[in-house]
Amino acid sequence: MAIENTLSIIKPDATDRNLTGAINSKLEKAGLKIIAQKRLKLSREMAQKFYEVHKDRPFYNDLVDFMISGPVVVQVLSGENAVMLNREVMGATNPSEAKDGTIRKEFALSIEANSVHGSDSLENAKNEISFFFSSIEIV
């Protein structure tokens, strides 16, 4: 299997509860390497652009409001099959459907405040990584 990079976001509900380290520990224990990471507060424009694919969904405005409600930690994760591996470690979008041991099962509060985002395909991973990081920040 190929080494892939994927984008991960630790969302405001998780940074607010001081869960960055606990989430990073789960990622690293699963074999994902954090090869870039920064904490920032998204502007409304950035959040709208990042989630543009959902702009016609009924939850879009609430999702944008939530993502700018506090700091996020954006990260690039690397490893074999990293896109799908990260999605397994994250668990289902809705925490009530997430499997035991996953990040969302353990930490998420709701489908919106679900603690983490992860790219859903290799193509989206490339676009999402370049949305937040320049090549010299990824080592």
Tokens of 14: 């998780």
Q: Which stretch binds ligand CMP (CB under 6 A): 20-28, 29-37, 109-117, 131-139?
A: 109-117
By beta-carbon proximity to ligand CMP, the closer residue of 22 and 113 is 113
- How does DSSP classify residue 79? E
Residue 105 and residue 23: Cα distance in Å, rounded? Answer: 12
> How far apart (Å, rounded) are the C-alpha atoms in residues 98 and 104?
6
- The residues assigned a catalytic role are 117
Distance CA 46, CA 131 (A): 9
Q: Which of 106, 111, 122, 126 binds ligand CMP (CB under 6 A)?
A: 111
106 sits near ligand CMP (criterion: CB under 6 A): no
84 forms part of the interface with ligand CMP (CB under 6 A): no
Instruction: Kindly report the number of other CB atoms within 10 A of residue 40's CB atom.
Output: 11
Task: Kindly state whether residue 59 participates in binding ligand CMP, applying the rule CB under 6 A.
Answer: yes
Question: Measured from the CB atom, is 22 or 112 closer to ligand CMP?
Answer: 112
Stretch that binds ligand CMP, among 16-24, 30-38, 107-115, 125-133 (CB under 6 A): 107-115
| Strand-strand pairing, 3-10 and 116-118 | antiparallel
C-alpha to C-alpha distance for 23 and 115, rounded to whole angstroms: 9
Nearer to ligand CMP among residue 30 and residue 47 (C-beta):
47
Question: Of residues 102, 114, 125, 128, which one binds ligand CMP by CB under 6 A?
Answer: 114
